[in-house]
C-alpha cells in the first residue's frame, strides 16, 4: 500500500485514494459489512468541507456562510424584481424558514433588501442591492482562482463526470426523501 505524501491518504490495489483512518472506523462501524458506500459518503463530506473552506477564505473575512453566499449569488443572477423566499428555497433545496434567516443576515449586511411582490401583495421578494453586486464582484475572482486550484489536474471530462456523480447523489437523496414523505402520508392516523 503506497501512501500519498503529506495527506494521510493511501492508494488501494486499483490505484484509488482512500483514507485509512476512515476505512478503519467504517469497518468497525459496519461490523464486517462492505464499507465502500460509507467511505464514499465520508469522502464527499470531506471534499465539500474543503471547497467550503476555500470559498469562505475568498469571502475576505466577511463571515458569510455557504448558504448565504448561495442566496446572494442566486439573487445576483435574478431579474431586477428579485426572487420570492419560496423560489429561493426551492432553488436551494432548503426550507423557506432557512432562506428567511439567510435573507435576514444578508439584509443586515446591506447586501439584500426585501421588496413587496408586485404580483402578490402578500408575498415578499429578496433583491440584491448595489452593495451586494459589488460584494459579488469582489468575491468572483478569488473564488474562481480557488476553485481552479482545488480542481487542479482534473480534465474537463473528469469535472463533468464528477459534477454528474455528485448530482446523482442529490437525485437519490431527493427520491428517498419523497418516498419517505409519501410513506408518512400513507400511514393511518393513530388514536
Cell representation of residue 18: 482512500
Residue 189's pLDDT is: 64
Residues 66 and 36 placed together within one structural domain of the fold: no
Residue 94's pLDDT is: 82
Residues 69 and 54 placed together within one structural domain of the fold: no
The DSSP code for 179 is: H
Closest CA to 108 of 63, 70, 57: 63
Cell representation of residue 51: 471547497
Residue 158's pLDDT is: 95
How far, in Å, CA of 6 to CA of 83, rounded?
45
Residues 80 and 101 placed together within one structural domain of the fold: yes
Residues 108 and 37 placed together within one structural domain of the fold: no
Residues 42-60, mean pLDDT to the nearest whole number:
79
Residue 83 has pLDDT above 60, yes or no: yes
- Residue 80: band (very low, low, confident or very high) from pLDDT cuts 50, 70, 90: confident
Residue 113 has pLDDT above 80, yes or no: yes
Residue 168's pLDDT is: 92
Distance of CA 152 to the CA centre of its chain: 20
Cell representation of residue 129: 442591492
* Total number of domains constituting the chain: 3
- Residue 191: band (very low, low, confident or very high) from pLDDT cuts 50, 70, 90: low
Residues 67 and 147 placed together within one structural domain of the fold: yes
Residues 81 and 53 placed together within one structural domain of the fold: no
> What per-residue string of b and e applies to 33-44 under the rule 16 or more CB within 10 Å gives b?
eebeebbeebee
Whole-prediction pTM value?
0.69
Residue 183's pLDDT is: 87
How far, in Å, CA of 191 to CA of 189, rounded?
7
Q: Report which of residues 120 and 155 the model is more confident about.
A: 155
Residue 1 has pLDDT above 50, yes or no: no
Answer whether residue 87 is part of any domain: yes
Residues 119 and 77 placed together within one structural domain of the fold: yes
What's the mean per-residue pLDDT of the chain? Answer: 85
Range of the domain at 102: 62-152
Residues 3-7, mean pLDDT to the nearest whole number:
48
Amino acid at each position: 500500500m503506497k501512501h500519498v505524501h503529506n495527506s494521510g491518504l493511501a492508494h488501494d490495489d486499483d490505484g484509488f485514494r482512500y483514507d485509512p483512518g476512515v476505512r478503519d472506523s467504517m469497518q468497525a462501524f459496519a461490523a464486517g459489512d462492505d464499507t465502500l458506500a460509507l467511505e464514499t459518503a465520508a469522502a464527499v463530506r470531506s471534499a465539500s468541507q474543503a471547497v467550503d473552506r476555500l470559498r469562505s477564505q475568498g469571502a475576505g473575512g466577511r463571515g458569510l456562510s455557504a448558504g448565504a453566499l448561495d442566496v446572494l449569488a442566486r439573487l445576483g443572477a435574478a431579474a431586477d424584481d428579485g426572487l420570492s423566499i419560496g423560489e429561493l428555497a426551492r432553488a436551494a433545496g432548503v426550507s423557506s424558514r432557512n432562506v428567511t434567516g439567510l435573507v435576514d443576515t444578508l439584509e443586515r449586511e446591506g447586501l439584500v433588501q426585501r421588496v413587496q411582490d408586485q404580483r402578490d401583495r402578500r408575498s415578499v421578494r429578496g433583491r440584491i442591492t448595489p452593495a451586494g453586486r459589488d460584494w459579488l464582484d469582489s468575491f468572483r475572482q478569488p473564488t474562481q482562482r480557488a476553485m481552479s486550484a482545488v480542481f487542479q489536474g482534473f480534465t474537463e471530462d473528469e469535472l463533468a463526470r464528477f459534477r454528474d456523480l455528485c448530482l446523482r447523489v442529490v437525485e437519490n437523496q431527493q427520491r428517498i426523501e419523497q418516498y419517505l414523505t409519501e410513506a408518512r402520508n400513507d400511514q393511518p392516523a393513530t388514536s
